[in-house]
Amino acid sequence: GCDPSSIGKCLSALEAWGGKMLVSEDERKKIRPEAIESLPHPIYCMASAWRVSELNVLLSHCNYRYPLKDENVYVIGKDGISLAASFHYPLHTSLISLRNRLSKLRETGSVDGFDDTSSEPPLARTIAVLLDYGFEPNERIESIDPFGDISSEINKMVGFTPLQILAAAVLDWKDLSEFAANDDAKKLSKTVVDRFKFYIETVAELLIRKGARITLESPPLSRPGRKICSPELPSESIPNSLHRSVRLSTCQSIERSLMKIDKNSYVIEFFGGEEKIKNIAKSWLRTSNRSVKGLGKILLHSNKSAISDSFSPGGSDTRSCAICWKSFGLVKNRKHLCRATARYVCEECSGRCVLERGEAFRVSDGQFSLAKVDLRKYLDFQDEKRKTQRKERLENANKTSATKRDENNSLKEEIFGRVGKSVRNYFLEEVETDNEINNNQTESLNSTLRQTQDAFHERGDKLNNLSEKTNALKDASTDFAKMAKELNEQQQGGFFW
């Protein structure tokens, strides 16, 4: 697959060395005309293929702000050309691609484009990007010069607005459903049916929420007061070298009178129903959505003098709105000047303003959407900047706190180190003193024990001597008793005998 970020880097590198995505007329004269004329605009290619990421990158490298530069326009000398025409109507092209895919589904059974299961279809994402870049939701195709093969496809849809092309796709689907109902081999799966309905309703809501109107008249063959450009230009075979999404396919011819959307109940039902459409439209029409703060990115013209008519596609004209082609009147539908594009537009296509330098500037719906996106991006950037700054402050505060904590810990260690040393010394000295005292007491106790032992020994000796004397005395007593007995016997015998 393609890497959009790599494309952006390559484009930036080429631009730094003077390269251009598009070349001027003088530069094209130096190249073979056929090599340039067969190439569609890169924005057209990405929009037709629904390549959202690449489309976003390419647009960021193009000049999509008025006044448009010459290098953005293939046909130079077309002063006053609209943004859509200069890029070959990419908003319309993305919807024409939907019709082409339906034709392919009818012919080959291919479900290319309808097998995406994301919550937001790639077609809706493509349209959302284009609307954010200022493309008009109600602009009619005013043809492009037939310099290449893609002009036939676009010119077939002259006079159609994006929402009317979407309605044409709905009618294509109706024909396809009837065709498939009569052929079991062509029967549409429930998945394809559900995805198509989801595509239509999602895209319709997106366009209406950005200002697309269902009340516009059916597509005319030409802008009022200008030559008719036949919608059925010859379409020769397309070179195989072109991208498949750029090739022309046999889209069904649509009866233009059916493109008065608010009168077509079948289309209204596919768009989500009348009640839903009204509620979506109210969100665009409410008062709070009528002005936006400008940031100086959109060039707003202060000069209200008359604007010269331009016969370029989408150019200003004093007779009709440059966007929806509605004819101006003296009382009803008075003309207004879009201060961003310097074109005359009607009230419905320019009911909003950009607030700049203390003044309100009327702008078209597309330029209003662009200003809102600019403001949103600016606020998001400021919000992200505040978050980054807050994060940096917290990190710095944490670093400062950690540094102070380390310093405090070092100071505590130093203080308590000194105190601890003193305490240790104190207790060590006390222990040494206690040891000396204990030693003295031990020596004294040992001396006392030795004296006691000597005394015990001396007493033992005395006891031994006493025992010997006691035994001697006992023996003497026994001898005395014996002598006394004998003497007593002698005395008794002498008196009686």
Tell me the pLDDT tens digit for each residue of 111-134. 777 777 778 899 999 999 999 999
CA distance linking residue 218 with residue 167, whole number of Å:
11
Bond preceding residue 67 cis, omega within 30 of 0:
yes
CB 368 within 8 Å of CB 338: no
pLDDT of residue 251: 60
| Cα 38 → chain centroid | 37
When pLDDT is averaged across residues 369-392 and rounded to a whole number, the result is 92
| 3-class secondary structure, 374 | helix
Alpha helices in 145-294 (DSSP H): 150-155, 162-181, 190-209, 265-270, 274-285
CA distance linking residue 359 with residue 472, whole number of Å:
148
When pLDDT is averaged across residues 367-383 and rounded to a whole number, the result is 93
CB 91 within 8 Å of CB 141: no
CA distance linking residue 119 with residue 326, whole number of Å:
36
Q: Is 475 left (phi over 0), alpha (psi -120 to 50) or beta?
A: alpha
pLDDT of 295 higher than 60: yes
Higher pLDDT, 136 or 10: 136
Instruction: Place 260 in a pLDDT band, splitting at 50, 70 and 90.
Output: very high
Residue reference for tokens 């390559």: 10
pLDDT of residue 414: 73
Higher pLDDT, 243 or 22: 22
Record the pTM.
Answer: 0.74
pLDDT of residue 242: 32
Lowest model confidence (mean pLDDT) among 6-15, 206-215, 339-348, 373-382: 6-15
Q: Which one-letter amino acid corresponds to residue 57?
A: V
Residue reference for tokens 């030795």: 450
CB 164 within 8 Å of CB 156: no
Higher pLDDT, 20 or 277: 277
Alpha helices in 232-364 (DSSP H): 265-270, 274-285
Q: Which one-letter amino acid corresponds to residue 76?
A: I
